Amino acid sequence: MKKLIFQFILLFFAFTSLTIAQEKILVDAVEKARSEGFSGVILVAQEGKVLYQEAIGLRSFENLVALKKNDIFEMASVSKQFTAMMIMMCQEKGLLDYDDPVGKYLDIPYRGITIRQLLTHTSGVPDYQAVMDEHWDKSKLAGNPDILEYLNRYQPPMLFEPGEKYEYSNTGYVFLASIVEKATGRDFVELMREWIFQPLGMKNTDIRSPEAKAKVKNFAAGHIKNEAGEYVNANNFHSSDYTVWLGNRKGPGRVSSTALDLLLWDQALYTDQLVSQQTMELAYSPAKLNDGTRSYYGFGWELEPKSPLGKMVMHTGDNPGYKTIIVRYIEENKTIIILNNNYHPDMMRLVEAATLSLGKW
């Protein structure tokens, strides 16, 4: 999926004249998305300066509340870059090493896996959600200890040998959050607030429980169309139930934030405030597989070394009712952040238009 996104962006540049008024392309794309029902926040920045920001659509379709630029969205898998950062901070503090065996920190039935392989989705660990969906009592709330217990109890087989190939793994990032807790002796959520959100001034960013989210006035609910073609809260659908009964999991998702807070995060990654630039360069480096080939996922980032604007790192998120993306052209310090709360197909068209406009700005 993500490789297709890279290819699509590259093809878009290859077949589009850069002499077009690129700023207008973004404005026109946003207006077209608005007319087609897109709901979300679009932000484009260069060197931390906002070049364009727009909120269109509704925070609540049921109550017809308009979205605002600083509304809070569920980040879904965009959260993984924060989990990876926690591991990198632990490594710099001497609390762990990337090539440590996972078994040094966690009691799991899988051997030969390193922390590095969890970070780069090359570990081969099985999908925890399938096991939990089959066996867990969904009247109860599950967290990382429960996930680890059920993986030990039912022991689904490895998907492949560690390091053999890349396969996106939410389980790996559950393990990473649990490793942080083991290495530090601290709660992952509290530590992320202390190490990342608070120092960076990300006042609207947190890992929130469903109860906490309900108390946040400017939380943009995720929406999906019902059988009548009307957008309703995604929590009304059975397919969204896992976000409730897996509501205590840590690592693969659950960060909620705003576009402006994500820009603070983006800019901090150009400094040594969290970790050194040497460590960040490692995070942006492809993984080496057992056969010597490369896999273009670093530490919480999808990688594209030769985009039209130089080296690009990015990540998408996908939760019931939500689509999110952050695209960072790190050689030129240019950033695209799009947060969508009605799972709309126009999101990638907006990314393309924003990318093209950055070529001009």
* Residue 293, domain CATH: 3.40.710.10
| Structure token pair of residue 116 | 């590095």
Tokens of 281: 């360069």
Helix (H, G, I), strand (E, B) or coil at 186: coil
Distance CA 339, CA 322 (A): 8
* pLDDT for the residue 240: 77
Q: What is the mean pLDDT of the chain?
A: 92
230: which 2 tokens? Answer: 């009307």
Q: If pLDDT is split at 50, 70 and 90, which confidence band does 235 have?
A: confident
Q: What is the DSSP letter of 163?
A: T
pLDDT at residue 214, rounded to an integer: 87
What number is the average pLDDT over the span 186-209?
A: 97
User: Residue 229 CB: number of other CB atoms within 10 A?
Assistant: 6
Number of structural domains the chain divides into = 1
pLDDT-based confidence at residue 242 (cuts at 50, 70, 90): confident
User: Looking at residue 21, what is its pLDDT?
Assistant: 59
Kindly tell me if the per-residue pLDDT of 254 is higher than 50. yes
Identify which of 341, 292, 295, 333 has the alpha carbon closest to the alpha carbon of residue 311: 333
Q: Higher model confidence: residue 293 or residue 309?
A: 293
What distance in Å separates the CA atoms of residue 272 and residue 293, rounded to the nearest whole number? Answer: 31
Least confident interval from 101-105, 175-179, 242-246, 282-286: 242-246
**H helix runs in 72-169, sequence order:** 80-92, 115-119, 128-135, 144-154
For residue 19, pLDDT beyond 60 = no
- Tell me the average pLDDT across 146-159: 97
Whole-number pLDDT of residue 359: 76
pLDDT at 2: 53
332 Cα distance to chain centroid: 22
Confidence tier at 244 by pLDDT (50, 70, 90): confident
What integer pLDDT is reported at residue 22 of this predicted model?
Answer: 63
What pLDDT is recorded for position 5?
Answer: 57
Tell me what pLDDT residue 17 has: 41
Q: How far is CA 283 from CA 232, 277, 297, 317, in A?
A: 38, 10, 9, 19
What does the angle CA 341 – CA 344 – CA 348 come to, to the nearest 5 degrees? 110
Note the pLDDT of residue 126.
97
pLDDT of residue 155: 97
pLDDT > 70: percent of the chain:
93
pLDDT in tens, 285-308: 999 999 999 999 999 999 998 888
The values of phi and psi at residue 259, to 5°, are -65, -40
Structure token digits, residue 123: 């570990």
Domain span at 252: 2-358
- Amino acid 241: pLDDT: 84
| Residue 14 predicted with pLDDT over 50 | no
Q: Confidence band (pLDDT; 50, 70, 90) for 238?
A: confident
Predicted confidence at residue 20, as pLDDT, reads 46
Region of poorest pLDDT, from 141-145, 239-243, 287-291: 239-243
Q: Are strands 223-225 and 49-56 parallel, antiparallel or unpaired?
A: unpaired
Q: Which residue has the higher pLDDT, 268 or 308?
A: 268
pLDDT for 211 equals 86
For the annotated catalytic residues, the residue numbers are 77
pLDDT at residue 16 greater than cutoff 50: no
At residue 355, does pLDDT exceed 80?
yes
pLDDT at residue 10 greater than cutoff 90: no
For 126, phi then psi, to 5°, come to -75, 170
